[in-house]
Amino acid sequence: AMEKSYMSMFLLLVAISCALAKDEAKKETKETTAKPKLPQTLSRGWGDQLIWTQTYEEALFRSKNSNKPLMIIHHLDDCPHSQALKKAFAESKDVQKLAEKFILLNLVYETTDKNLAPDGQYVPRILFIDPSLTVRADITGRYSNRLYAYEPTDISLLHSNMQKALKLLKTEL
C-alpha cells in the first residue's frame, strides 16, 4: 500500500502538463502580430501525411458518416509538454499508421463543448469520440489528476488506447 501511494504521488508529479489552454492562448495571441511560418498546415506537425480535419463540426460529421472514431488532440505551440508529445507522436510509425483509421483533429483553441474537457482544459490532452458521438471518457492515460494527458514515454499506452477506441461502442453492444 505504501509503495502504491508513492507511485501515485510520482505519477501526479510527473503529470506537469501546461496551464489552462485559455490562458496560454491569450499569451499566444499577443505574439502573433508577426507573420507565421508558412505554410500553416492542418497537421501542425502531428503527422503531415495524415488527413486532418479543420474544425470540431467537420470532425463530428466525418466520424459519424465514415463510422471511424474521432481522435482529438488539444495542444499549444508554446507548451513544451505538447511539443514533446507531438514529436513522439509524429515519429512513431505505429501510431502514425494506426492514426489513419481515425478521423483526426488537433486544436490549439478549446471548443465550447464541455464534453471535451471531462477533467479540465489542460494540454496536451487526447480524447476519443465514438462514431455514435459518445466521448470515450473511459479511455485514459496514466495520470490520475489529468486523465487524458500523455507524456512522450506513454506512446505505447496511447497506441493501445487507440486500438481500444477502434473497437466501436456499437459493435460491443
Bridging pattern class, strands 125-129 and 70-74: antiparallel
Cell numbers given for 31: 505574439
Residues numbered 112-151 forming contacts with its own copies, rule: CB under 8 A:
112
Q: Is 156 in the site for its own copies (CB under 8 A)?
A: no
Mask for 2-41, x = binds its own copies (CB under 8 A): -----------------------xx--xx-x--xx-xxxx
Q: Which stretch binds its own copies (CB under 8 A): 82-90, 102-110, 137-145, 158-166?
A: 102-110
Q: Which is nearer to its own copies, 15 or 127 (CB)?
A: 127
Burial of 57 from C-beta contacts in 10 A (0-12 / 13-18 / 19+): exposed
Q: How far is the CB of 172 from its own copies (least distance, A)?
A: 25
Mind giving me the DSSP string for 21-37?
A: HHHHHHHHHHHTTSPPS
Name the residue type at position 57.
E
Q: Which is nearer to its own copies, 62 or 142 (CB)?
A: 62
The span from the CA of 89 to the CA of 58, in Å, is 23
> 20-36 burial, b if ≥16 CB within 10 A, otherwise e?
ebeebbeebeeeeeeee
Residue count at the site for its own copies (CB under 8 A)? 32
Q: Which is nearer to its own copies, 65 or 156 (CB)?
A: 65
Backbone φ, ψ for residue 61 (5° rounding): -60, -45
Q: How far is the CB of 39 from its own copies (least distance, A)?
A: 4
Q: Which is nearer to its own copies, 99 or 139 (CB)?
A: 99
CB 102 within 8 A of CB 72: no
CB 80 within 8 A of CB 28: no
Q: Residues 109, 137, 138, 164: which binds its own copies (CB under 8 A)?
A: 109
Return residues touching its own copies (CB under 8 A).
Answer: 25-26, 29-30, 32, 35-36, 38-43, 48-49, 51-52, 54-58, 61-62, 65-66, 107-112
